[in-house]
Structure 1
Amino acid sequence: MELSVGEVAKRTGVKVSALHFYEQKGLIYSWRNEGNQRRYDRSVIRRVSVIKAAQQVGLSLEEIASAFESLPKHKAPSNKEWREMATAWRDQLEHRINQLKALQSDLDGCIGCGCLSLDSCNLRNPDDERAKAHIGESLLTNPEDPL
């Protein structure tokens, strides 16, 4: 069964512009009918639902796209394929949860610390990660650096 972009938007609760964006990013796929209108397979509804759920737990569109690469593009993934993707995300989310718990433990000490040191701050420079690739640089001289 093929659906129009408006039908997909209505059934998923996502704006048409978001669907176009997801398609541009390679997260969902459509084809054009004889009238040059976008048409989607019904399986796109599940993909959009998974995208929304993944975003709610903090996964980026890049992470979602990477996970979707292993799924078939123009048909519904099997239960096994969804499960494998979910398992990878579960491990990734568990890692993030552990990082957030560590951050939560350090936050009280950091707020009262007042050290103003980007080099030794455990929140901005955990386990002195900056020292591995940025000898002598500081965050103040390179604000584009994500660490």
Structure 2
Amino acid sequence: MSELSISELRARTGVAASALRFYERKGLLHPARRAGGKRVYDEAAVEQIALIDLLKQAGFTLSEIAALVGPSGRSAPDWRAVVAAKLRELDDRVQRIQRAQQALRHALDSERDRLDDCPVHHRILRAHARALATAAQHAPL
């Protein structure tokens, strides 16, 4: 298995060396060894960085990633429950984004000079207000 310096790992992943060192401090990444006082990573670090980036894109915080996957890249025993919860969160976010897109598309397509004069715009806002109220009723205190 080949070894990578921190600059080679940066080049292979596009992640800044400062971020790689930060990941080490957070317990997300561990160099295979030190050679001449410098970090040396094994080839698996490339996939570890890719996993960290994917999880960040999915909305996981670095602390959540550290709890889910250790510096060795091995997943935590309860990883399925954590991932399922995050997927539900992402699905909810996608639905909210799609509703916002629909409202914005309507606004752009409206023939009215002012949105204030558009009955469909007001219907969209009333529906959204109802959704906000429903969410507030079901939110934990």
Q: C-alpha root-mean-square deviation of aligned residues, in Å? A: 3.4
Q: Which runs of 5+ in 2 are unaligned?
A: 104-123
Larger Rg: 2
Tell me which residue corresponds to 1:36.
Answer: 37
TM-score (norm 1): 0.59
Q: Which runs of 5+ in 1 are unaligned?
A: 114-120, 133-147
Residue 126 of structure 2 corresponds to residue 122 of structure 1: no
1:68-96: CA deviation from partner (whole Å, max 9, x where unpaired): 14xxx44x65xxx59x84x4454123311
CA gap of 1:2–1:13, structure 2 versus 1, over 3 A, is same
The AA in structure 1 aligned to 2:87 is E
Q: Distance in 2 between matches of 1:9 and 1:102?
A: 35
Tell me which residue corresponds to 1:13.
Answer: 14
Q: Which runs of 4+ in 1 moved over 3 A?
A: 87-90, 102-113
CA gap of 1:88–1:45, structure 2 versus 1, over 3 A, is farther
Structure showing greater relative contact order (alpha-carbon pairs closer than 8 Å, 6 or more residues apart) = 2
CA gap of 1:90–1:38, structure 2 versus 1, over 3 A, is same
Could you tell me the percent identity over the aligned residues? 27
**Alpha-carbon offset, residue 67 of structure 1:** 0.6
Mapping of residues 1-147 of structure 1, within 5 Å: 1-30=2-31, 31-33=33-35, 35-69=36-70, 73-74=71-72, 77=74, 85=79, 87-88=80-81, 90-100=83-93, 101=95, 108-109=124-125, 122=132, 126-127=136-137, 129=139, 132=141
